[in-house]
Amino acid sequence: MPTPTTEFADVTGSEASMRRFLHGLPGVDQVGAEARAASLGTRSIKTTAKAQAIDLAISMVDLTTLEGQDTPGKVRALASKAVHPDPADPTCPQVAAVCVYPDMVAIAKETLGSSGINVAAVATAFPSGRAALDIKLADTRDAVEAGADEIDMVIDRGAFLSGRYLQVFEEIVAVREACTRADGTGAHLKVIFETGELQTLDNVRRASWLAMLAGAHFIKTSTGKVQPAATLPVTLVMLQAVRDFRDTTGQMVGVKPAGGIRTSKDAIKYLVMVNEVAGTDWLDPDWFRFGASTLLNELLMQRTKLTTGRYSGPDYFTLD
């Protein structure tokens, strides 16, 4: 797991130096970013390539339930579906992770068993992030001790938008440290920006670099609770950031768009963008994920159509 980048110690040593660095990043041409995202979204992917893309997208899904009405039974059913998304077709790949609230981690972990599917838990006063740091850290430790393989934390958007960048940085570092268990093992950390509240693509780029400097393993667009959630232009900027970060430091960081991605056509647009912007190394569940609750069924319906020539209705697969 990446650690805070020591070669940038001078950048992260004070509020003033952090501000100079983040505001010194190249500005984002919003019109240009939107135009490039739209252009990449027009690429035509057909037949064998489309089938491969759908299977890859399925393997990148973080199958998610984050509702106040979640029950142990619902989480068990979701975890079972994660292992066998299409019980009628054993060739269907399993998903990357199941994402739940911390109190459901143990149930998801038990159900998934030795499947190799990760359990992700949202933490740090998700989705608002409005809590004292000690509460955020306790929230994280509880999920990690329950067996979470990944922690999805939210940044303090109020602090970020107020320019208190060092505070946000230090919170990410502290949460990353809380992801480590007593035996030395730990959970990977995904840092959620809630890009719908960040107002500009320049802020998305700044948040991306701030999180990566703090040791994030993944950067993530959204909680799924605020609109707009994931968008192609926002994800484009984040992919550019992880590409540039690797060029600078040699470290890879993953990207997870979440919220609002509902169709196989949309998922394939994101995969095209990953390939064109970041590169083929990111076309792997270890480095790119979809945060979704409804996307999987759409991917399964398209997969069945490609395999059988028949389009199954939405009721053919279990509802998430």
Active site residues: 152, 220, 256
- As given in the structure block, the two tokens for residue 198 are 């960040």
**Separation between Cα atoms, residue 177 and residue 273, nearest integer Å:** 32
Strand 254-256 and strand 290-292: the pairing is unpaired
Instruction: Kindly tell me the sign of the dihedral angle through the C-alpha atoms of 97, 102, 108, 113.
Output: positive
DSSP string spanning 147-214?
T-SEEEEE--HHHHHTT-HHHHHHHHHHHHHHTB-TTS-B-EEEEE--GGGT-SHHHHHHHHHHHHHT
E strand map for the chain: 61-64, 97-100, 118-123, 150-154, 188-192, 218-220, 254-256, 290-292
Q: Is 202 in contact with 28 (CB distance < 8 Å)?
A: yes
Determine if the peptide bond prior to 72 is cis (ω within 30°): no
> Could you tell me the CA-to-CA distances from 9 to 6, 14, 21, 173, 294 in Å, in that order?
5, 9, 12, 13, 42
Helix then strand then coil, % of the chain, to nearest 5: 50, 10, 40
Determine if the peptide bond prior to 228 is cis (ω within 30°): yes
**Separation between Cα atoms, residue 88 and residue 84, nearest integer Å:** 9
Q: Ramachandran region of residue 279, left (φ > 0), alpha (ψ -120 to 50) or beta?
A: left
* Sole residue written with tokens 């398209």: 302
- Contacts of 192 by beta carbon, 8 Å cutoff, 6+ apart: 126, 152, 153, 154, 155, 220, 221, 222, 223, 258
